[in-house]
Chain A
């Protein structure tokens, strides 16, 4: 057969398959919908995970090389200034900077903010810079005075100098930046106490060595290196995590149901039609090809529908369906204006898993009926 005839043959068989699907269009449309929904669920998790991981990898690369914490009875404790000096003296450490930050729970809204007194705070004492989420939650605007409840029981009022940009929301949405003195006053802390210590290491290959030395220099201490921090974010939405497992399980069950329905056997009228096709001269291969097209059309349609819908809801819509899930018990909404980062391999795998098993499940029950003599098929 010439390639032109072969093409025309496939096209005609495809025509037949489409007409067959359209004949039972109610059932087939709902099938595409249900199957598409399954793909949508998986694709949403895959796309979101990919985007978050890509953002984390790109954005956190410039953070501290090693962070050293002090633990006391298993709980984080403050680090003294001379401990910071000791850490700075470790070989390979170019700089040891004490960080001052704390979790602040607003008594009114119950939102939790991260209050941070950075070394290079650009404002003056009495001023504060807010992350977009914090400002939105409390409806604070630049120029206004915000009230923070100190640990001494008194309210401290600070003027909002500016808001941190929306484009940095992913790392800054809950931040409250202020001067060191205000931090000390708010949390009733002396100036020589720090939350933890950030180390800058000259040689990146020595991170583990430095971390070990840091724990030695600070008894009861704990050191985390940047590669370890990066690994935490690579494991976001890992398949072993609760949400992803549940979605996957649901998808597998749905698919099994659909496949079982198909593979359980042909209804009598379909088998009779098969016999007619064979009696008018169709080969087994022709019948199987037409059935294969049916399976391909349904599964590819479901795939496209699911993935496009997942993309739309994650990257076009302002509030993805997964936002409430990610939000959990937080008061602040997670900043989910993400840039898509799709791994072609993941997408290809999803495509393969969506199309191939389903198409096979469609073809298998037809195989037996298609191979028998048309006479036998028509009599049964």
Chain B
């Protein structure tokens, strides 16, 4: 079943200016529920831009994005944020943890404005960190975490609101091979738990992983092949 769909989306940066650049040039893509889809391609191919469009992080310059039957592109910002918060969990290339907060506090961050019971939220954060094998670093300051630990805390943060779709942009860019394979194992577990995953990567460990259900190649803002 199609969970997420892009129809003829374009994304143009600096429109009207001399440095105008079309990162996504007319892409139509359907993402299946419960599948692990990977966007592959060299840097500059537009996969990060397409990811931000599909993940409701930015609006396309033209074209439409659908979440099930609901059109996201025409939603006002307020509702879009609501969707982003409840449906998507985003893992960036850099962990982008907030400095000065502990790992646990970072994981709880997306849920803070929801006014949930604080103690329950804390327990959930602890559980997630345990699942990702960084439970022992829960109270450590985010500045002190290693690259791999920080990345896993970032994944836990993306999962705290129990989103349907996990979106990750170059998740293994700063990880060594062992940690990269570990990441794909986590991804497989999440898929088994019923989540839909959408990754952008040019790392073979990701693209060639057996957990991947569909590989979509991109070049110069367009999809390559079938």
Q: Do A and B come from one complex?
A: yes
Q: When the two chains form the complex, which single residue of A13, A281, A289 contacts B84, counting CB atoms closer than 8 Å?
A: A281
The count of chain A contact residues (Cβ–Cβ below 8 Å) is 33
The count of chain B contact residues (Cβ–Cβ below 8 Å) is 32
Question: In this assembly, does B113 line the interface, its C-beta being within 8 Å of a C-beta of chain A?
Answer: yes
In the complex, A281 Cα to B89 Cα: how many Å?
9
Structural contact, B115 and A7, CB atoms closer than 8 A = yes
In the assembled complex, how far is the CB of residue B167 from the closest CB belonging to chain A, in whole angstroms?
10
In the assembled complex, how far is the CB of residue B128 from the closest CB belonging to chain A, in whole angstroms?
14
Q: When the two chains form the complex, which single residue of B78, B96, B115 contacts A5, counting CB atoms closer than 8 Å?
A: B115
Q: When the two chains form the complex, which single residue of B88, B92, B115 contacts A8, counting CB atoms closer than 8 Å?
A: B115
In the assembled complex, which residues on chain B have CB atoms less than 8 Å from the CB atom of A11? 118
Structural contact, B113 and A286, CB atoms closer than 8 A = yes
Question: In this assembly, does A167 line the interface, its C-beta being within 8 Å of a C-beta of chain B?
Answer: no
Question: In this assembly, does B90 line the interface, its C-beta being within 8 Å of a C-beta of chain A?
Answer: yes
Question: In this assembly, does B117 line the interface, its C-beta being within 8 Å of a C-beta of chain A?
Answer: yes
Minimal Cβ-Cβ distance residue in A for B105: A19
Minimal Cβ-Cβ distance residue in A for B79: A283
In the complex, A376 Cα to B77 Cα: how many Å?
14
Question: In this assembly, does B192 line the interface, its C-beta being within 8 Å of a C-beta of chain A?
Answer: no
In the complex, A316 Cα to B102 Cα: how many Å?
43
Q: List 30 A-B contacts (CB under 8 A).
A: A1-B115, A7-B115, A8-B115, A8-B116, A8-B117, A8-B118, A9-B112, A9-B114, A12-B115, A16-B109, A20-B100, A22-B100, A23-B99, A23-B100, A277-B98, A281-B81, A281-B85, A281-B88, A282-B110, A282-B113, A283-B113, A284-B77, A284-B78, A286-B112, A286-B113, A373-B57, A374-B57, A374-B58, A375-B52, A376-B58
Structural contact, B59 and A373, CB atoms closer than 8 A = yes
In the assembled complex, how far is the CB of residue B162 from the closest CB belonging to chain A, in whole angstroms?
12
Minimal Cβ-Cβ distance residue in A for B85: A281
Structural contact, A375 and B77, CB atoms closer than 8 A = no
Question: In this assembly, does A251 line the interface, its C-beta being within 8 Å of a C-beta of chain B?
Answer: no
Minimal Cβ-Cβ distance residue in A for B108: A12
Q: Tell which of B57, B98, B113 has the most Cβ of chain A within 10 Å.
A: B113
Question: In this assembly, does A280 line the interface, its C-beta being within 8 Å of a C-beta of chain B?
Answer: yes
Instruction: State whether A13 and B59 are in contact (beta carbons under 8 Å apart), knowing that A279-B92, A375-B52 are contacts in the complex.
Output: no
In the assembled complex, which residues on chain A have CB atoms less than 8 Å from the CB atom of B100? 19-20, 22-23
User: What string of 1s and 0s marks CB contacts (under 8 Å) between B70-98 and chain A?
Assistant: 00000001100110111010101000101
Question: In this assembly, does A273 line the interface, its C-beta being within 8 Å of a C-beta of chain B?
Answer: yes
Instruction: State whether A280 and B110 are in contact (beta carbons under 8 Å apart), knowing that A8-B116, A373-B57, A375-B57 are contacts in the complex.
Output: yes
In the assembled complex, how far is the CB of residue B9 from the closest CB belonging to chain A, in whole angstroms?
14
Instruction: State whether A281 and B110 are in contact (beta carbons under 8 Å apart), knowing that A7-B115, A8-B115, A376-B58 are contacts in the complex.
Output: yes
Question: In this assembly, does A276 line the interface, its C-beta being within 8 Å of a C-beta of chain B?
Answer: yes
In the assembled complex, how far is the CB of residue B85 from the closest CB belonging to chain A, in whole angstroms?
3
Question: In this assembly, does B157 line the interface, its C-beta being within 8 Å of a C-beta of chain A?
Answer: yes
Residues in chain B within 8 A of chain A (CB atoms): 52, 57-59, 77-78, 81-82, 84-86, 88, 90, 92, 96, 98-101, 105, 109-110, 112-118, 157-158, 161
Give residues 326-380 of A contacting B (CB, 8 Å): 371, 373-376
In the assembled complex, which residues on chain A have CB atoms less than 8 Å from the CB atom of B81? 278, 281-284
Structural contact, A13 and B112, CB atoms closer than 8 A = yes
In the complex, A240 Cα to B217 Cα: how many Å?
76
In the assembled complex, which residues on chain A have CB atoms less than 8 Å from the CB atom of B115? 1, 4-9, 12
In the assembled complex, how far is the CB of residue B124 from the closest CB belonging to chain A, in whole angstroms?
14
In the complex, A273 Cα to B109 Cα: how many Å?
12
In the complex, A281 Cα to B88 Cα: how many Å?
9
In the assembled complex, how far is the CB of residue A378 from the closest CB belonging to chain B, in whole angstroms?
8
In the assembled complex, which residues on chain B have CB atoms less than 8 Å from the CB atom of A276? 92, 96, 98
Instruction: State whether A12 and B58 are in contact (beta carbons under 8 Å apart), knowing that A278-B81, A283-B78 are contacts in the complex.
Output: no
In the complex, A289 Cα to B115 Cα: how many Å?
13
Structural contact, B157 and A280, CB atoms closer than 8 A = yes
In the assembled complex, how far is the CB of residue B112 from the closest CB belonging to chain A, in whole angstroms?
4
In the assembled complex, how far is the CB of residue B122 from the closest CB belonging to chain A, in whole angstroms?
11
Q: When the two chains form the complex, which single residue of B57, B82, B105, B113 contacts A279, counting CB atoms closer than 8 Å?
A: B57
In the complex, A19 Cα to B101 Cα: how many Å?
7
Structural contact, A375 and B58, CB atoms closer than 8 A = yes
Instruction: State whether A16 and B112 are in contact (beta carbons under 8 Å apart), knowing that A374-B57, A375-B58 are contacts in the complex.
Output: yes
Minimal Cβ-Cβ distance residue in B for A25: B100
In the assembled complex, which residues on chain A have CB atoms less than 8 Å from the CB atom of B116? 5, 8
Give residues 254-298 of A contacting B (CB, 8 Å): 273, 276-284, 286, 289
